[in-house]
Amino acid sequence: MVTASRVQLTVLRGRDDEWQAVRSLLDGVTGGGGALLLHGEPGSGRSALLGHAHRYAEGCTVLAASGLAEEAALPYAGLQRLLDPVLHRAIALPRQQRDLLRRALDGETCPVDRQLTLSMAVLGLLAAARDRPLLATMDDVDRGDPQTAQVLAFVARRLRHLPVAVLLTADVTVTVDGIAAHRLRPLNARDSVAVLTDRLPEQPATSVVTALAAIGGGNPQALVDLAEVLSPAQWRGEEALPTAPPADGALGRAYRARLDRLPPDTRRVLLLAALDEAGEPGTLIRAAGAAGTEVEALAPAEVAGLVRVEPRGVTFPQPLVRTMIAASAPLAERRAAHRLLAGVLVADGQRLRRAMHLAAATAGADPALATELEEAAAGGVGDWATASAALRWAAELSGHPTQTAARLLTAARYAWAGGQPDVARLLLDRLRAVSRDPAVRGRADLLRGELELRCGGASGASVTLLTAATAVAGTDRALALSGLVRAGEAVCFAGDQYRYAEVGRRALALRRPTDPPAVELMGCLVAGVAATLRGDHERAGPALRRAVVLGGRLTGPALTPTALNCAAAAGLVVAVDGAAHRLAERAVGLARERGEVSVLSRALELRAVAEYWLGRHEAAAETSRDGLRVARASGQINCASVHLGMLAVLAAIRADRDTSLRHLREIGESPTPGSRPHALAGWALAVLDLIDGRHAEAADRLASLARLGTGRGQVLVQVMATPYLVEAAAHLAHRPAATAALAVFDRWASSTASPLRRALSARCHALLAPRGGAEAERDFQAALRLHPTEAGTFERARTELLFGQELRRSRRPRDARTHLHQAREMFSLLGVACWAEQATTELRAAGESVGPPDLPAARLLTGQQLRIAELVAEGATNREIAARMFLSTRTVDHHLRNVFHRLGIRSRTELARAFATERHVGLTSDR
């Protein structure tokens, strides 16, 4: 028996809901007890929660025991260990109950017809400890004798009026009727990382923690076991990480104990199923037959919750179960199972899987098998991770250092293509120790530089890439040019555009008149961007437009997501937004089709920028959200920051302050000043300043995005933000920064064929012209003529609003109202409530009394929004609407908020009234 007192609790990650349930149980025990079952996979934290409960149970008598598999055949063994500290109080029980309890706990059997009496005796004994509340816990109740579990379940259902709490833990498959239960789910990525870092004296490499969190599968004990076995070099990311939690760790021992309770045939087939990751039913059936058994032998494992056997194959409810089954098996058994699986994989299309199983069953070098693996994995399209693993095996089995190096390099490329940058880095580190060949090292450094650009220190990536491009230029000009394209991206990302001139000079030296289209495209892109950054638009335009044309003509092996990204980037710089969007869209589709995660985030970034220029802000935001998910999943922290910055800008432009600031908080302080994410964040904050009337602050932020004439800072981002800089500066007496930025914007806009860019240029000149003069009106009218009707509706609405403001402040309210009405209507159609309200305010200031927009709902709402609004008007709840339209309630809620914004109403009642009025007007007009 333990007398518990409240002590300082250690941190329990990711178990807030479960711990709250335990606390509620313990806090209320004096007013009436209860019971709780915590069930989950081995290592999920059940015992840790019990330990917290013991320490928290202030003023309680604590009885604690565990179910032991060794005593499972001894009736009431667990009950005896639990009750032993208070058995002396059995004297207070009725004689019949007392005698039956003592006999049962002494090892005698309890007849079936006396089990109720025995259970009442246990309940009475716990209730007899009335000097203080009592907590009784049984860990792993399902592992011990079933008689104890049966009695404790009986007691747990009858504690309502007693100061007794019962806390049980069991496997994920166990439930107890009449007792509240909490299923312990896997930890999320954030909590998994916290579990790891809690156990380290110093901060490990971020890539290592991320990789370990994935290996641990959200299982706390797996994470703890991994943390305990890693070497300092592994923590620093200098050595390869294990692929599974250690077999001799606490979790490994728990799984071995669980597997040992299964029949031999079940364990044999279970291992085959764990090693056959493809999960095709025919393969497992043939392998089980070759092992002298059959798939039906898995029935006990299915009962134990380890697998699910379905017509389409065997699945593992938790990926970690598969990993631990394989890790827990002896090496000889694993190799034998791999050989069995290889023996049944003989059909076409199974070559790579067969070779992988043979490799896993092989000890020592095997050059022939290494060649087989390399040939089977060639290309890697569709499953880059498996192809990378195959090349790693091939490198291990190679008989010559040159082949080992080449295969490691290919494995690293495949790992990166599949979105595994940490694996790629470790393979490149191994390659460095294997080969000193300058050509091989140059190719490796090109990949290393790309990893730095997307996932690490982008400021140093350009140096790595430039050096590597020089190293390979003599043997592979196309590869060298691709390295220079990446180097150019790196200097632009870091805000060091002045260094792009060097990239351009090196690319020019590599170009040839006979270059194939894909190579010519890269040369044109670098030449065009270099000319643009030095203000030479006469040279930039033809080169960039040529890159766009070449991108549209690519076919066959030359058609890659990377090449399409280059063409899309060229299109954005030369302001052919539609073509840039089509190219980026093709890049996204091709990257998804081929599974090239490494280039997908960049393709989505380019598509989002194109959608911004096309005025499709909602589409751009959705694209950026997609890009953010991809970037985070593939460890591309720099790309993730760019997408967050773009989301912050888009939200700010729509005056959604909370969303914009939330994205900026997600970026945090990691971006280097002058980098693209840092500039996007500044742009977003400046727009919010502008909306709030802090014009000087907005102008200062936007002017600081780049230092014109020096090539430092984000010149291209500042060009995009120039209309906002000019708008802010129009309210200030001194405008040198805005005037200089507008001059840069003008030179670019005039070199393009983009009506939108020219319209924005005219609007900017109107804002800086003397107020009330003919020059301002002329420029505003020019801007409205230039604005395209099929795109850029938001920018046209902004021009109408600004023109209306200018006319009103020039004491021409009647002329102003025409433009303000146009602005209000367009903003309402776009669902941009803040700007619509600003237009409404201006209209009132111009002497017009206005209410909600006088537009029918069918014009203001999308088809889906209109249908949701109609159902709300009919009285349907969000849940009912979700069921009828096959949507989630969250999606319905999101659309409904937009409906309220667009219709200028605030409640469901107003919405019903508006639709009733609209129907009445329609019926009247019909008559």
What is the full DSSP assignment across 674-703?
TSHHHHHHHHHHHHHHHHTT-HHHHHHHHH
Residue 813 and residue 849: Cα distance in Å, rounded? 13
Is the pLDDT at 924 greater than 60? The verdict is: no
For residue 236, the tally of other CB atoms under 10 A from its CB is: 13
pLDDT score recorded for residue 113: 87
Highest mean pLDDT among 532-541, 711-720, 807-816: 532-541
pLDDT band for 850, please (50, 70, 90 cuts).
Answer: low
Is residue 203 pLDDT above 80, yes or no?
no
pLDDT above 90 (res 132)? no
pLDDT for 652 beyond 90: yes
- Pair type for strands 313-315 and 308-310: antiparallel
- The Cβ of residue 223 has, within 10 Å, a number of other Cβ atoms equal to 29
Alpha helices, DSSP H only, in 710-788?
Answer: 715-729, 736-751, 755-768, 774-786
Cα–Cα distance for residue pair 278/62, rounded to 1 Å? 49
C-alpha distances (whole Å) from 841 to each of 800, 801, 812, 814, 905 are 14, 11, 16, 15, 17
Question: Per-residue confidence at 348, pLDDT binned at 50, 70, 90?
Answer: low
Count CB-CB contacts under 10 A for residue 328: 26
Dihedral pair phi/psi, residue 516, rounded to 5°: -65, 165
CA distance 276 to 284: 8
pLDDT band at residue 825 under the 50/70/90 scheme: confident
pLDDT of 872 > 80? The answer is yes
- Maximum average pLDDT range among 252-261, 395-404, 544-553: 544-553
Handedness of CA 885, 888, 890, 891 (dihedral sign): negative
The sign of the CA dihedral 32, 38, 44, 48 is positive
Q: Between residues 59 and 298, which one has the greater pLDDT? A: 298
Whether residue 710 is predicted with pLDDT greater than 70 in this model: the reply is yes
Residue range 596-611: average pLDDT?
96
Query: Which of 103-107, 127-131, 318-322 has the highest average model confidence (pLDDT)?
Result: 103-107
pLDDT at 381: 66
- Which whole-number Å values give the CA distances from 665 to 322, 672, 678, in the listed order? 38, 15, 12
Bridge partners for 135 per DSSP: 62, 165
Q: CA 157, CA 150: separation in Å to the nearest integer?
A: 11
Question: Is residue 1 predicted with pLDDT exceeding 70?
Answer: no
d(CA 220, CA 211): 15
For the stretch 430-445, pLDDT in tens is 898 888 888 899 999 9
Q: What integer is the mean pLDDT of 638-650?
A: 95
CA distances from 660 to 249, 553, 688, 897 (A): 45, 39, 9, 17
pLDDT surpasses 50 at 375: yes
Q: pTM for this one?
A: 0.77
What would the mean pLDDT of 135-142 be, rounded to a whole number?
A: 92
User: What average pLDDT score do residues 621-631 get?
Assistant: 95
CB 465 within 8 A of CB 490: yes
What does the chain come to in residues?
A: 927
Residue type, 921: V
Q: Using N-to-C axis directions, what is the helix angle for 597-613 and 637-653, rounded to 10°?
A: 20
CA-only gyration radius of the chain, Å: 34
Cβ contact 548:583 at 8 Å: yes
DSSP state of 496: B
- Which CB contacts under 8 angstroms, 24+ apart, belong to 540-547? 540/573, 540/574, 540/751, 541/574, 541/751, 541/752, 544/570, 544/571, 544/573, 544/574, 545/570, 545/574, 545/576, 546/520, 547/521, 547/571
How sure is the predictor about 859, in pLDDT bands with cuts at 50, 70 and 90?
low
Say what the pLDDT of residue 477 is: 94
Rounded CA-CA distance 123/779 in Å is: 89
Task: Report in angstroms the alpha-carbon separations of 183 from 45, 46, 173, 221, 250.
Answer: 11, 10, 10, 16, 21
The two tokens of residue 139 are 């860990």
CA angle 264, 265, 267 (to 5 degrees): 65
Q: What is the pLDDT of residue 6?
A: 35
pLDDT tens per residue across span 453-472 = 999 877 789 999 999 999 99
pLDDT at 921: 44
Beta strands 134-139 and 164-171, pairing class: parallel
* Weakest mean pLDDT among 318-327, 494-503, 507-516: 318-327
Tokens 């929004």 sit on residue:
865
Q: How much is the average pLDDT of 768-773?
A: 86
Q: Say if residues 822 and 797 touch (Cβ distance below 8 Å).
A: yes
Cα(309)–Cα(299) distance, integer angstroms: 8
What number of other Cβ atoms are within 10 A of residue 179's Cβ? 16
